[in-house]
Amino acid sequence: MKLTKQYLVLLLALLISFQFSCVGSNKNGNSNNSSTSNSSTSKSKTLNFPEATVDRVIDGDTIVVIFNGQKEHVRLIGIDTPESRMNHRVKIQERNLGDAEKVIELGQKAKEFTKSLVKPGDKVYLELDVQQRDRYGRLLAYIYLKDGRMLNKEIICNGYAMPLTVPPNVKYQEEFKKCYQEAREKGLGLWKK
């Protein structure tokens, strides 16, 4: 019995170390934003993540991709853009952004910004976190563009999203909070005065 436990512990340790070697995570905690890392390093990192093809943009923080031969709705982890059409979340966002009409107007701007970064047919790379799907069945991911920039971070750093941290997916929460604060202070994107 004692020998069996030792084998299980060893097997578990091997599986964990194998998983970390395959994930391709950045051990230094550096971001993949063009302003903080060089393009070749970021670009090579994307090769470690599964590839998908953009089908369409739903709104500022949700896109549809072809992944493993199937269409998948992908919700960008860590960010929240205003709603681009009337739904129950508009009421929640009204508290911080203004009336429903203003929320939807800002949501359309965020959607257009996302569409400027990803187009149908573009290759993207998906980094998954601890929880891979939300309660609606959407895939949860950090999406990398072909040039190595992270889509989630580009949206929030350019002022088109607020941070949204939903544990256990917290890998880039501090970076996103910092980007959000800087975008607000500089009056970027939705925060233009």
Tell me which residues are annotated as active site: 75, 83, 138
The residues facing 65 across adjacent strands are 54, 72
Q: Among residues 62, 48, 30, 76, which one has the least CA distance to residue 175?
A: 30
The residues facing 125 across adjacent strands are 51, 144
3-state secondary structure of 75: strand
What is the 8-class DSSP label of residue 148?
S
**Spatial separation of the C-alpha atoms in residues 171 and 175, rounded to whole Å:** 9
Q: Among residues 148, 168, 177, 131, which one has the least CA distance to residue 36?
A: 148
Residues 6+ apart with CB under 8 A from 13: none
Write the burial class of residue 189 (CB in 10 Å: 0-12 exposed, 13-18 middle, 19+ buried).
buried
Write the burial class of residue 16 (CB in 10 Å: 0-12 exposed, 13-18 middle, 19+ buried).
exposed
Q: Are 131 and 140 in contact (CB under 8 A)?
A: yes
